[in-house]
Amino acid sequence: MSMDIDEKQNEKETIVSGPVPSMGVYEAISCRRIIRDFQDKVVPPDVLKRIIDAGLKAPTHDHLRNWEFVILHEEQDKKNALQFIKMGTAPQLEILKKTLVDGTAQQKMYAIAMPRQYTMLFNASHIILPFFKSTPGMMHPTSASSFNPISSIWCVIENIFLAATAEGLGCSMRIPVGEEGINVAKTVGAPEEYFLPCYIGLGYPAEDCPAVEQVECNTEQKIHFGKW
């Protein structure tokens, strides 16, 4: 794993640190939410490392742990990596204006999320770019096992989300659209065989973060014993 963690802080930033969190796993799972508005506070290097280390504890395809992380903190580094987002979000915002008609939970979520696709990453203390080594034909699978490498990296990402929640932090997430991920990978110098599944913004949630309506899921209705 290669990380460039700059410990220098600019004059407007505040460092907030504390002890290793004691939040239980079920509480972290229950509290985890995608965060799209952040405070102007810097995540300390030791906390960042703990969160990445939690990601590295995830199950892995073929026991290879073919994961790498590019960490962005400096303003110019963020701008370089995020420059391709604006190209993809403008058409999506136009579609959004035409589809927000009945106010479903999904539409309300998009109304909050889409205008923040850039700021929810740029304003985060750090941007984590998780990369995994892809396999030939991954984008044209022939069986469920073809998805093993990409399944592994999503286990890593969920560990990062839960660890961040346990630390009192929050994460935003964007999945690249079109050639966006390839362009970002080139910008940060990732090898061609490495694939970027998403961007992760990591930081302290803003106190006035909009609460996104959650779709309730009844466990009893989702479990099928013996057969469907």
CA–CA separation, 180 and 82 (whole Å): 9
At 99, the pLDDT band (50, 70, 90 cuts) reads low
Burial (Cβ within 10 Å: 0-12, 13-18, ≥19) of residue 47:
buried
pLDDT at 136 over 90: no
- How do the residues of the chain divide into helix, strand and coil, expressed in percent and rounded to 5? 40, 15, 45
Asked if 67 and 149 touch (Cβ cutoff 8 Å), the reply is: no
Domains along the sequence of the chain with CATH: 17-222 (3.40.109.10)
pLDDT of res. 101? 58
- Whether residue 16 contacts residue 41, with contact meaning beta carbons closer than 8 Å, is answered with yes
Residue 106 burial (C-beta neighbours within 10 Å; 0-12, 13-18, 19+):
exposed
3-state secondary structure 132-166: EECCCCCCCCCCHHHHHHHHHHHHHHHHHHHHHHH
pTM: 0.84
% of the chain surpassing 70 pLDDT: 83
Scan for tokens 């998780």, then name that residue: 130
Average pLDDT over residues 54-81: 95
39 versus 106: the higher-pLDDT residue is 39
For 127, which DSSP code? E
Supply the mean pLDDT for the chain. 86
